[in-house]
Amino acid sequence: MLDGKCVFCGIIRGDIPAAKVYEDEKMCVFKDLEPKAAVHLLAVPKTHFKLLEEMGDSEREILAYMLGKIPQIARQNGCDNGYRLIINQGDDAGQTVFHLHIHILGGEKLGEM
């Protein structure tokens, strides 16, 4: 379920320190170490998937679960006027941590995409 070499698995286990803002049995949300916006959170499933394409039909249910939780978590952490979700996939997107994660960006007016 968790990967011994993965930094986000280390955060989930509690071996690597992180500013966690939400946690339940399925997911964890913590502050990005190098924030790219006034609020920059990372939401991760508590199962190690590198990429969306690795997930089976039943495993993908975690994504709907996370998307259901994110609005309240975002609001409680300073995104009360909107926010942006980003999932980087692979090298062209600049993915650096290969444990599936949803970036939550907000707390200020974000640049246009």
Report what 48 binds from Zn ion, ligand 5GP, none; CB cut-off 5-8 Å by kind. Zn ion
Residue 8 interacts with Zn ion (CB under 5 A): yes or no: yes
Residues that bind ligand 5GP (CB under 6 A): 7, 16, 18, 30-34, 42, 88, 94-97
Q: Which is nearer to ligand 5GP, 18 or 43 (CB)?
A: 18
- Of 40 and 48, CB closest to Zn ion: 48
Q: Whats the size of the chain, residue-wise?
A: 113
Helices marked H in 3-99 — which ranges?
7-13, 61-76
Alpha-carbon span 105 to 82, nearest angstrom: 9
- Least gap, CB of 14 to ligand 5GP (angstroms): 13
Question: Among 72, 87, 82, 73, which Cα is nearest to 107's?
Answer: 82
Question: Whose Cβ is closer to ligand 5GP: residue 12's or residue 62's?
Answer: 12
Catalytic residue numbers read: 101
CA distance linking residue 95 with residue 88, whole number of Å: 5
Give the pair of three-digit tokens for residue 43.
């939401």
